[in-house]
Chains A and B, each alone.
Chain A
Amino acid sequence: DIQMTQSPSSLSASVGDRVSITCQASQDISKFLNWYQQKPGKAPKLLISDASNLETGVPSRFSGSGSGTVFTFTISSLQPEDIATYYCQQYGHLPYSFGQGTKLEI
């Protein structure tokens, strides 16, 4: 099974900051990586698919990059509504698997 190591596990930042989260796969997953945002009591929301493809309606301050085993998720200018937990998920190999999450605080 592929292990997804996400870092940091928590992050404190200020409004307007540039924030980055890293996800490392234990094997090559090509570009097959999703990034999700989850707010308390809600289902995760897909923000980015195929490592860098921004989903329709998602603000352009969110972006993703990487391929193979190392991936990065970036918020270019942090907004108050971005407070949430973020997860990466690989779908390059079965079983699909998630990173352990990054809790973003202001």
Chain B
Amino acid sequence: QVQLQESGPGLVKPSQTLSLTCTVSGGSISSGDYFWSWIRQPPGKGLEWIGYIYYSGRTYYNPSLKSRVTISVDLSKNQFSLKLNSSTAADTAVYYCTTDGGDFWGQGTLVTVSS
């Protein structure tokens, strides 16, 4: 059973880079079984798909965020990461890491963008 756990700062200052890491256990990113996604949910609102990465490093980003997003993978640590630069209050959300099919999710981590 694949398990995912998000980690990273819970508070980011405006204009700074939001950085999160997802640690995968119970399975190997290198297996190629999944694409690995990031999804976010502003407080009280719906879900937004941010993008995904494959073990090869192949990525796809939502065009709405493409200019500010980077997703990377570290196979040696079985982790993948999200960077969102030029953060604003609109980026305040619970961020989830998931498998692309939606069958496995992390618990989510709240990131607040505020000075």
What does DSSP make chain A's interface, helix, strand, loop or mixed? loop
Within 8 A of B (CB), among A81-106: 87, 89, 91, 94-101
A49 within 8 A of B: yes
> How many A residues touch the partner, as a band?
20 to 34
**Interchain CB contact under 8 A, B100 and A89:** no
Within 8 A of B (CB), among A49-93: 49, 55, 87, 89, 91
What does DSSP make chain B's interface, helix, strand, loop or mixed? loop
A23 to chain B, nearest CB (A): 13
**Interchain CB contact under 8 A, A98 and B49:** yes
Within 8 A of A (CB), among B34-63: 37, 46-49, 51, 60-63
Q: Assuming the A-B contacts A91-B100, A95-B60, A95-B63, are A44 and B105 also in contact, with contact meaning beta carbons closer than 8 angstroms in the complex? A: yes
- A45-B105 Cα distance, complex, nearest whole Å: 8
| Chain A residues whose C-beta falls within 8 Å of the C-beta of B102 in the assembled complex | 34, 36, 44, 46, 49, 89, 91
**Interchain CB contact under 8 A, A43 and B103:** no
Residues of B whose CB lies within 8 Å of any CB of A are: 37, 46-49, 51, 60-64, 96, 100-103, 105-108
Sample 29 A-B pairs with CB under 8 A, ordered by A number.
A1-B63, A34-B102, A36-B102, A42-B107, A43-B96, A43-B106, A43-B107, A43-B108, A44-B96, A45-B105, A46-B101, A46-B102, A49-B102, A49-B103, A87-B46, A87-B47, A89-B47, A89-B49, A91-B100, A91-B102, A94-B60, A95-B49, A95-B51, A95-B62, A95-B64, A98-B46, A98-B47, A98-B48, A99-B46
